[in-house]
Structure 1
Amino acid sequence: MDPRRKFVQPGKDIEREMKLEQPDIKHTQTEKPNIISEKIILDDEQVTMEDHIFFMRKTLDRYSNRCAELKVFFEVLKKETTEKFSIFEKQLEEQKNCESKGNENLLKLEKQKKIENLDSRISALESYKNKFESESSDKPSKAAELKDFIKKKSLKLQEEEQERKFEGMSLQMKELKEEVRELKEEVRKLKEGQVEEFKICLHE
């Protein structure tokens, strides 16, 4: 009989062996191994030091296997991450090249637009210069035309002023004539009234 099992009953011994033979539990990245739940506790039994060593070795084996699995997992993850990062760097470099080419094209277009704007401004200044020179050569004739225009305009304004004055006087004459007619009518009525009064006085 194994000295480690001298204080263990047969029923409890079978239960311990069955639990030790169970497959290892797979954990996710976020989960932590539940160490307490993996411990084998023999109720109401006194466990010897050999039993502790036996259980600790089993636990150590399980964690060693788990560490090996995690090591493989992290190696695969590192490889995949390195590959993805290299692809990302390549894409970023291509994007930078495209942006640099696009910026060069934009700079060329901006320079071309500036040149076209300068050309148009130069042509506009030249046309303005030619126009100014032609107008400067025609200044004496234009000054005479302007003087004649001002004279004609002033004469026309004087004529219009005279016409307005004449119209005002005509209106005043018309109003005076109307007043005179009214006064004559009143005088005639007064005379007729006086004649009637005189006739009445004679009869009396």
Structure 2
Amino acid sequence: MDTRRFITIEGIEGAGKTSALTTVSDWIIARGDDPLITREPGGTALGEELRAVLLGHREQGMSAEAEVLLMFAARAEHLETVIKPALQAGRWVICDRFTDASLAYQGGGRGLGVERVRGLAEWLMGDLRPGLTLWLDLPVATGLARAAGRSAPDRFESEHQRFFEAVRSAYAQIARTEPDRIRRVDASPALERVQATITTILSARFDD
């Protein structure tokens, strides 16, 4: 199974993942391919049900351990029923968040530890990794300001700034360990500049 056509998009709230996903999709379509666009948590019927649990506001909250295990339960279903079959068929797959999000949000933000969560990832995925991960990075305050007022905040969006600082720090730690796969994109400038950066990265990686 060739995973070079598996592209994931990461970043904190307000980083512009939706716009980046559209940019990547348009770049692939312009080359005559039909990408599969999916998201985590979610992407399957079971995954969407777990997404509702994970993002919803629960009266009694949720432990960090339960949260990360639910994330990986949704991911296991997603991999087996959506992502792997698409890659085996030779399709491009673009995923709004993937395992790096669990390393950053649960490992960093929740304090479980990046390496502890990485153990779950290695158990589930083996050597399967995205061919390219675009990490949309910007200051936490900027991201939260952009995200404010878009809609009623979900359980993660309601976290305090300190949580997102830990998430961003974890993303930076992860990126340092895999500099070839994970490409940092400065998400602070205007949309047009971010889009140009993304297309430059895609062309350098995939155009012969």
TM-score (norm 1): 0.17
Higher relative contact order (CA 8 A, sep 6+): 2
TM-score (norm 2): 0.17
- Larger fraction in strand: 2
- Larger fraction in helix: 1
